[in-house]
Amino acid sequence: MRLEEFPSPGNKKDKMISRVKALFLLAFLTGIFVFMRGFMMQQPQLQDASPSVESCHCEKCFPEDDQWFVKRFDKSVEPFLSTKYNLPVDAFNWWRGLQYEKRNYDVYNKTVERLFQIFPPSPDVLKPSREHCRRCAVVGNSGNLKGSRYGQLINAHEIIIRMNTGKTEGYEADVGSRTTHRIMYPESAIDLDNSTHLVLFPFKIQDIEWLNKAFTTGFHGSSYVPVRAKIKANKDLVMVVNPAFMKYVHQTWLDKKGRYSSTGFMALVLALHICDEVDVFGFGADKDGNWSHYWEQLKNKRLRTGVHPGSQEYEAILRLAKLLIIKFYRGW
């Protein structure tokens, strides 16, 4: 056997010392890393500035440098009525012209006063939090949802806003099955389960009267279509949209185009005010250019958007999507 094949006592000692030094060095570096990590966690973290800094903790935040958006988005506008809110007279005068309301401001105030004797004094809105991102799906009723297979994607959202009589049963694969907020007015009212918010878009004083009576004595009145006398819903989850918010959407977002905004577009702007991330489904015409509902066979192909400024609304949606403020799912 050759001499070099035998382990040298000196070599063995040197190797032991090297290992001990390596362990000490590793422990030292680990200590520095732990210290720096704790130090950095205590320091204030820089955030991108935005109109909603208090809730800007999600993947996307509102831009400050786009003048088109900054001109339109006004965080100070109250989306819902509450006992702490007084509707300005100029907003009432604009609102009363939507459906030719003849009664005056005093009648409106008395009707709203009765409203909060039945329903909660403030809306049940999920508050912004740095630890929680409020993800919302606004689901319109466009025929472009047919065959979209968006159902599971829609169901994954925390807040799911649907409009009027938009159906889910039988259409779950395309539109989902869950609803957390149902926007309606008396002429489009449907019964709700106990966990869904009823969000009333009032277009006249009678609409607020209907809400008061549909939960109590029963409503007996007339409109351009038959109106339900009673409705099933959780009265603790009722929310009434502020007429001044409706005015704001029409005048600020749509530059006063059309007589007033569609329910769907108002719902989208509402979502921008109460959500951190907004995904939009079921808006616009279908692939053939027709404005239709996904659960109906379109009979009148000349039907467009009526008194609502459909083209301006759609352009605004595309602009919001381009700015990455919303995600817009076309469906085709």
- Residue 282 is labelled as binding a ligand: no
Active site residue 250: no
Question: Distance between CA atoms of 196 and 181, rounded to whole angstroms?
Answer: 6
Q: Is 308 labelled as part of a ligand binding site? A: yes
Instruction: Please check if 157 is assigned to a binding site.
Output: no
Interatomic CA distance for residues 330 and 332, integer angstroms: 6
Is 224 labelled a binding residue? yes
Q: Are 258 and 139 in contact (CB under 8 A)?
A: no
Element (H, E) at 210: helix 205-214
Of 281, 275, 211, 286, nearest to 241 by C-alpha is 211
Show the CA angle centred on residue 93, arms to residues 312 and 228, nearest 5°.
Answer: 80
By CB atoms closer than 10 A (0-12, 13-18, 19+), residue 50 is: middle
Q: Which one from 150, 185, 248, 260 is the annotated catalytic residue?
A: 260
Residue 273 assigned to a binding site: no
| Adjacent-strand bridge partners of 132 | 129
Please identify which of the residues 157, 181, 273, 308 carries the catalytic annotation.
308
Nearest to 262 by CA among 164, 129, 168: 164
User: 315: Cβ–Cβ under 8 A, 6 or more apart, which residues?
Assistant: none
| 308 given a catalytic annotation | yes
The sheet that has 135-139: what strands, in order across it?
Answer: 238-240, 197-200, 181-184, 159-163, 135-139, 277-281, 326-329
For residue 293, say whether it is annotated as part of any ligand binding site: yes
Does the annotation flag 108 for ligand binding? no
Angle between helices 205-214 and 105-118 (to 10 degrees): 20
Tokens of 20: 């001990």
Distance CA 243, CA 247 (A): 6
The response to whether 264 counts as a known ligand-binding position is yes
Distance, in Å, from the CA atom of 9 to the CA atom of 36, rounded to the nearest integer, reads: 41
**Residues contributing to the annotated binding site for substrate:** 99, 141, 164, 224, 260, 264, 284, 293, 308
Q: Report the binding-site residues.
A: 99, 141, 164, 224, 260, 264, 284, 293, 308
Active site residues: 260, 308
